[in-house]
Amino acid sequence: MDPKYYDDIEGQIHKFSGCETYLELFEHQVKTRKDHPFLGSRIKQEDGSFGGYEWQTYGEIEKVAQQIAKGTKTLKLSVETEGDGRKWRFVGIWAKNRWEWLATHIANMYYTVTTIGFFDSMGAAAVDFILDQTELTCVFAAQEYINKLVLMKKDGMAKNLKFLVSFDQVTTAQIEAA
């Protein structure tokens, strides 16, 4: 990018005309670069080191995102709520950066579902406040946050939360605790 545009977002030359939303841009990339690498992950080895990147293509992520979107809609994981004079659908995501985070976010865009992101630094009270304000019923999460959400439910928090979708393998203990 030309440095003269760093502080002038509106003046930037838009490379992808006709793409008004992130979803349109993603779909354009799928159409033109379907088999090109899009999202990569480094796999942790048994000795604690990380191996090389394993890449997923635009086409592979499109397929996963569409499956998540269809599943979210079919299973009614995102209920409609009203606020600010309009109707909303929310899905939460609580995980560190990983390909599943972005695939879920793209999935939400297919059915105009707003993504509510939670951060590592948030305590139970802050998470509960957001869950309550948004009437959030579903959170996609990494294993460590599944445990936190289950504990919050046991402590009388996260009252509207009904569905947890784990990005990781869940343990028998987690299933029994939920």
Tally of CB atoms within 10 A around 60: 18
The residue extents of the domains of the chain are 65-177
Tally of CB atoms within 10 A around 79: 15
Q: Tell me what pLDDT residue 141 has.
A: 97
Pick from 54, 62, 50: which is nearest to 23 by CA? 62
Please tell me whether the overall predicted TM-score, pTM, comes out greater than 0.85 for this model.
yes
CA–CA separation, 133 and 38 (whole Å):
34
The residue type of 13 is I
Q: Please state which of the ranges 6-20, 85-99, 114-128 shows the lowest mean pLDDT.
A: 6-20
| Residues whose CB falls within 8 Å of the CB of residue 168, separated by 6 or more in sequence, listed in order | 142, 143, 146
- Residue where the block lists tokens 């560190």: 96
Q: Tell me what pLDDT residue 174 has.
A: 77
| 3 state DSSP class of 80 | strand
H/E element, 139: strand 138-141
Q: What confidence category does residue 20 fall into, taking pLDDT thresholds of 50, 70 and 90?
A: confident
How many helices, marked H, and strands, marked E, lie in the chain? Answer: 6, 7
Pick from 127, 47, 57, 50: which is nearest to 93 by CA? 127
Q: Per-residue pLDDT for 1 more than 60?
A: no
> What is the crossing angle of helices 22-33 and 58-74, to 10°?
130
Q: Tell me what pLDDT residue 77 has.
A: 96
Q: What is the CATH number of domain 65-177?
A: 3.40.50.980
Report the DSSP pairing between strands 80-83 and 50-57.
unpaired
